[in-house]
Structure 1
Amino acid sequence: MNVEELLALAGLVGAVLLGSALQRTTGVGFALVAAPFLVALLGPFNGILVVNLFGMLTALLVFFRVFRRVEYKRVFWLLLPALVATIPGAWVAVNVPPAELSVVVGVLIIIALAGSFLIRRRTFASGRGGALAGGLASGFMNVTAGVGGPAITAYAVASRWPQHQFAASVQLYFCVLGAGSMLAKFSLPTLDAPQWAGTAVGLVAGIIAGEVLGRRVSAVLARRVVIGLAFLGAMIVMLQGLVDLAGS
């Protein structure tokens, strides 16, 4: 393994570790942080598959620790439209060329992040209509860009969903949605043995780190870190796609 491959492996492990740590700390954050960097390292299609798989595994591990606070009925009404939206999203993910998809992924992440700020200043439907809109947007963006969190966060803000119940409930949501996103694309990530081993270590280490961080770092600070890193990563992915388009 040469230096370039070692650096790529370190970046892959680091993205999974950081994403899983912030997911454990804040309830969301794996895809927002990991997706831009995994897409840059592995390409848009394979990178998002890694996000779907390890986002699902992270949510599953966290779910086992918080399942008593999950609001199952609310999760059900979000999952119904989200799983439906994975079907057109999967078509986009499979049929759009890599360079164009990189630009789309970057733009979608930036739009989602900007929307999560705007929702705080406006009042939207917070009942079944809000769940339908949030689920549809989240499902489509999860399968195409790996970022289903901002749309669900926007719904949580609009519906005044208490943070503790929200943080617990979305673990079940992301677990099922991640599995549905991979099923819709009929694919699993393509990684070599060192990459599988490294991402597995990063996942476990991130969960452990998130346990520690959750006791010492405020939720406000953690969310700011998530948003800052996600914006940076999205810009990198979008610029990489634009460069590839210019060179083609």
Structure 2
Amino acid sequence: MELPLILLVLGMVVLGAIAQRVAGLGFAMLVSPFLVLALGAHQGVFLVNICGVVSSAIIVPRVWKDIDWSMFRWLCSFSVVGSVAGALLAGGLPQAPLSIVVGSTVLAALLLSLILVRANVTVTGQVPKAGAGFLSGLTNALAGVGGPAVSAYAVLARWPQRPFAATLQPFFVVTGAVTVAMKFITAPDQLPPLPGWAWIAVAVFIGGGVLIGEQVQRVVTDRHARFFVLCFAFFGAVTALVSGLRAL
């Protein structure tokens, strides 16, 4: 892989890590469409899955006291099933259809977030939790985007932002780890061909992005951070969708 492309990947990784630390989610939604355009659908989603695990693992100790472990166990129980199913489906999709899946998933998530802001509906019980967990695992494996399903559940269940954002971090670690393991087993050739130093740089840049995000969090409101993530993600999603449609 050429150096300019590696630098582009590192830049996107930093932005994603900042968004993840400030808003609790956003790494995949922000980064996935652009990495799919830069690396191709399979390699781009695979890299997003790996980076998502690393970024959330770095954040977990910093939000430990706010994690709702009961909610975490419920969501993870079903996200694992969705991750396995999604990894198997993704391995059989050609590049162009998978690019369309990524772009469509992110666009649907953006639309859903706009609708739910105005929704006056409250959900309760275990079935919505199970559905959110399964869909999150499925979309994470297919498109690298697992946050929208649980985010939608959080809005409808009136789950407070602080424990929600904290609980998502170990949830993303487990869901992403299962997805990455399945892809290593079923399609190891889809791993991006980064040199060894670049993999180390990815981890370092994610850590740096998390630290920058902690400073940004002090001066930027959640509303402004999410607005930036949504705008950037919308542009990337439309581009990935158009690219996939043209490739067909």
Name the counterpart of 1:85. 82
8 Å Cα contact 1:22/1:210 also seen in 2: yes
TM-fit CA distance, 1:91:
1.9
TM-score (norm 1): 0.92
Quote the offset at 1:224 in angstroms: 0.5
CA distance in 2, matches of 1:71, 1:197: 31
How big is the shift at 1:10? 2.1
* Aligned counterparts, 1:170-209, within 5 A: 170-185=168-183, 186=185, 187=188, 189-190=191-192, 191-209=194-212
Q: What is the alpha-carbon distance in structure 2 between the residues aligned to residue 214 and residue 126 of structure 1?
A: 31
Deviations 1:198-226 (A, max 9, x none): 32232122111101101111110000011
Question: What are the equivalent positions in structure 2 for 1:48-59 lying under 5 Å apart?
Answer: 48-59=45-56
- Once the 2 structures are TM-superposed, how far is the Cα of residue 197 of structure 1 from its aligned partner? 3.6
Q: Aligned equivalents of 2:198 and 2:233: distance in 1?
A: 22
Alpha-carbon contact 2:32-2:144 (below 8 Å) kept? yes
TM-score by length of 2: 0.92
The partner residue of 1:153 within 151, 154, 163 is 151
| Range moving further from structure 2, 218-227 or 126-135 | 126-135
Name the CA distance, whole Å, in 1 between partners of 2:73 and 2:173.
13
Secondary structure at the aligned position of 2:123 is classed as coil
Question: How far apart are 1:99 and its partner, in Å?
Answer: 1.1
Cα distance per residue 1:153-182 (max 9 Å; x no partner): 111111111111111111010111110111
Q: What is the percentage of aligned positions where both structures have the same residue?
A: 37
Q: Could you say what secondary structure the match of 1:96 adopts?
A: coil
Contact 1:9 1:198 in 2 (8 A): no
Aligned residue for 1:16?
A: 13
Alpha-carbon distance in structure 1 between the residues aligned to 2:200 and 2:191: 13
Query: Structure 1 CA distance, aligned partners of 2:130 and 2:99?
Result: 27
Structure-1 separation of matches of 2:171 and 2:69: 9
**Distance in 1 (alpha carbons) for counterparts of 2:242 and 2:199:** 27
The residue type paired with residue 82 of structure 1 is: S
Q: Any gaps of 5 or more consecutive residues in structure 2?
A: none
Aligned partners of 1:239 and 1:201: how far apart in 2? Answer: 32
Q: Return 5+ residue gaps in structure 1 as ranges.
A: none
Give the letter for the 2:180 counterpart.
Answer: M
Aligned residue-pair number? 242
1:219 alignment partner in structure 2: 222
Looking at structure 1, the residues matched to 243 and 204 of structure 2 have their Cα atoms a distance apart, in angstroms, of 28
Change (3 A) 1:126 1:184: farther
**Cα displacement string for residues 69-118 of structure 1 (whole angstroms, at most 9, x for unaligned residues):** 10001011111111111122112210010111111111111112211222
Paired position in structure 1 for 2:57: 60
Amino acid at match of 1:21: I
Task: Provide the aligned C-alpha RMSD in A.
Answer: 1.6
Contact 2:58 2:207 in 1 (8 A): no
